[in-house]
Amino acid sequence: MEKRKGQGLFITLCVAPAVILFTIFMIVPTLNVFRMSLFERGAYSPTETFVGFNNFKILFSDPKFIASMQNTILLIVVVTVVTFAFALTFAAILTKEKIKGQNFFRVIFYIPNILSIVVIAGIFSAIYKPENGMLNSILSMFSGKTVMLLWKDQPLVVISVIIAMVWQAIGYYMVMYMASMSSVPLSLYESASLDGAGRITQFFQLTIPLVWTNIRTTLTFFIISTINMAFLFVKSMVAKGMMDVGLSFMYNQKDAGLYGYSMAAGVIIFLFSFLLSAFVNRATKREPLEF
């Protein structure tokens, strides 16, 4: 009995610092965001005026906020689909096909993930430069005339951000899926080949189901992280006012002195991400396929 009490005390002492820090730096600020969303307050003013849900009423009728959330949803859908499609395809090719230098390709694809967003934004800003950027130079070479597309202006700015986000994320998930796919026994693919299943059929009916648990887990985390990544890319790459996502709209309201209104936007984004993760987790639930 005394031994169990001693073990319980030891576990409590080990866990307590993490719980305390999490409460102070995560739980309390989150609850404070909910509280502040019900008040009207300037960014640097101590005076608070309770307005109830008035901030939310204004928010849902604000066309700029609606447009920013539409951009957020667009980036989540497109970036997720394109990233996972390429990551799974490249992982399957590098895992199953006998390609020389597989480790080299792993490193090359993974490098963008270790670069900071600011560095990636700088790289793509140079690529998108209208006068002598690499992208316009390539298009000019193939078209035979000078191309001066403004990649970071409307209407191409969304496409430019999508390309940068996909390039940054593919390598990380490709490496993760390669690890999962390499654990699938080759005998399963040999049996499928004897039954007449081609490479594409094996990919969709054998490889994907067998690594589905990994796909499902990474999919949920990626969708939620895309909300934050979209903000970082927009702030680093795009001129102010050219494109907004949910979090950049929230920060702009804070900079304008509308602190309570900004917190209301933060609450909506928090609830949106929470509900989205629950929906994705529910929609992708299926019985695991074992081998």
Residues 16-30: tens digit of each pLDDT: 888 899 899 888 988
What percentage of the chain carries pLDDT values higher than 90?
24
CA distance linking residue 113 with residue 110, whole number of Å: 6
- At 289, the pLDDT band (50, 70, 90 cuts) reads low
Q: What is the pLDDT of residue 2?
A: 60
Q: What is the pLDDT of residue 290?
A: 60
- At 248, the pLDDT band (50, 70, 90 cuts) reads very high
Q: Are 262 and 64 in contact (CB under 8 A)?
A: no
Which tops the pLDDT comparison, 225 or 190? Answer: 225
Q: What average pLDDT does range 118-147 have in this prediction? A: 85
Reported as a single tens digit per residue, the pLDDT across 54-71 is 999 999 999 999 999 999
Secondary structure of 82-125 in the HEC alphabet? HHHHHHHHHHHHHHHCCCCCHHHHHHHHHHHHHCCHHHHHHHHH
CA distance linking residue 44 with residue 34, whole number of Å: 18
Q: What is the pLDDT of residue 3?
A: 61
Instruction: State yes or no: pLDDT of 45 exceeds 70.
Output: no
| Residues facing residue 40 across a β-bridge | 49
CA distance linking residue 115 with residue 135, whole number of Å: 21
Alpha-carbon radius of gyration of the chain: 24
Q: What average pLDDT does range 243-251 have in this prediction? A: 91
**Average pLDDT value for the chain:** 86
| Residues facing residue 39 across a β-bridge | 50
Reported as a single tens digit per residue, the pLDDT across 179-215 is 888 888 888 887 888 878 788 888 888 888 888 888 8
Reported as a single tens digit per residue, the pLDDT across 134-180 is 888 888 888 878 778 888 888 888 999 999 999 999 988 998 898 88
Which tops the pLDDT comparison, 250 or 103? Answer: 250
Report the predicted TM-score, pTM, of the whole model to 2 decimal places.
0.86
Measured CA to CA in angstroms, residue 258 lies from 200, 252, 254, 265, 271 at distances of: 54, 9, 5, 11, 20
